[in-house]
Structure 1
Amino acid sequence: MEWTGARYADKPTAEAATWIDGAPEAVWPFVADVQRMPEMSSELQRVEWCGGATGPKLGGSFVGYSKHDALGEWSTTSFIVECEEPRVFAWAVADPETPTATWRFTLEPENGGTKLTQWMQMGPARSGLSFAIDRMPDKEQKIVFVRMREFENAMIATVAAIKDRVEAAR
């Protein structure tokens, strides 16, 4: 929990991991198909590939449509910044050079299965959360803490859902 007491400019990170009874090659399709992600998220509502793409490739992009009770509804374009099947899949939100957030899945062979880790970093570019901080700058650390806790809980649920789907497909 590197984000306890963090400010937005600190680019706090969060992660969640699980072990899956399946090879990285069996896990990869569940990680790299971003259109499946809304099934595993209460915030992400739908995802569309851009430019006629039907799957991940380095430099590709997709639009995610999200909804949050406190933050409203919004969409963001994400750019794939790492794509090494079946090991790493990562995307930068809004701008690949200066993202509002970066998300990554890492798949590592471990004990006859796969250690799946989901990681994210907030910032460095301003995001929707920045507007809440602008309105209540004295509460920045609490705002960042609450949002990072939401991300962490969502990632715990996501890696658990991927584990369930991979293992059920065996």
Structure 2
Amino acid sequence: MEWTGARYADKPTVEVATWINAPLERVWTLVSDVSLMPAMSEELQSVTWLDGATEPAVGARFVGRSRHEAYGEWETTSHVIEYEPPRVFAWAVQDPAHPSAVWRYRFAPKDGGTELSQWMQMGPGRSGLSFAIDAMPEKEQKIVFVRMREFERNIAVTLEHIKKLAEA
């Protein structure tokens, strides 16, 4: 049986959404404080703003340090590419013109609370996953599929943490 699915070059995406029983401004404040994110993630270990920045703005940069059982430890520089309070917050990982990933939060008032979605796109720039694909090109689609399911699970966990904090 041949594995079918997305390849890395297809720039696969995943999105998870949740409804939060809290005002949009509260949810926005939590999500736009990237220093809170490591406490909500198994992979992301720390975040540090660069170039004197202390909060998001288009063009601001931050370093994220991550760890994964299969991929080891790594560090990436992210560039804020969209920042429209309180609607959208997004960043590109590594080279904003050819990112290894793009992450985006979208916020909308809904039913007296907030609809929050987190979306991510893998690629097209090289990432740690590229080394696994280089080593096993015949398994590329399976590698991409497994990593995208990991992202989906991790995003759901992050959103649940945000929901709990916002509703507390």
TM over 0.5: yes
Tell me the CA shift for residue 52 of structure 1. Answer: 1.2
The question of 1:82 aligning with 2:82 is answered yes
TM-score by length of 1: 0.95
Partner in structure 1 of residue 67 of structure 2: 67
The equivalent of 1:28 in structure 2 is 28
Does 1:155 pair with 2:155? yes
| Distance across 2 between alignment mates of 1:96 and 1:133 | 22
Work out the CA distance in 2 between the residues paired with 1:16 and 1:161: 13
Residue 60 (structure 1) shift: 0.3
**1:24 & 1:79 partners in 2: Cα distance?**
24
| Runs of at least 4 residues off by over 3 Å | none
Unpaired stretches in structure 2, ≥5 consecutive residues: none
**Separation in structure 1 between the aligned mates of residue 146 and residue 65 of structure 2, nearest angstrom:** 21
Looking at structure 2, the residues matched to 104 and 24 of structure 1 have their Cα atoms a distance apart, in angstroms, of: 16
1:37 aligns with 2:23: no
Which structure 1 segments of 5+ residues have no match? none
Aligned to 1:135: 135
* SS of residue matched to 2:51: coil
- Percent identity over paired residues: 64
Shift of 1:24: 1.3
Rounded to whole Å, the distance in 1 between the matches of 2:105 and 2:23 is: 15
Q: Measure, in 2, the Cα distance between the counterparts of 1:147 and 1:24.
A: 31
The residue aligned with 1:101 is 101
CA displacement at 1:79 relative to structure 2: 0.1
TM-score (norm 2): 0.96
Aligned ranges for residues 103-122 of structure 1 at < 5 Å?
Answer: 103-122=103-122
How much does 1:108 deviate? 0.6
Amino acid in the other structure paired with 1:128: G
How many positions carry a matched residue from both structures?
165
Query: Per the alignment, in what secondary structure is the counterpart of residue 155 of structure 2?
Result: helix
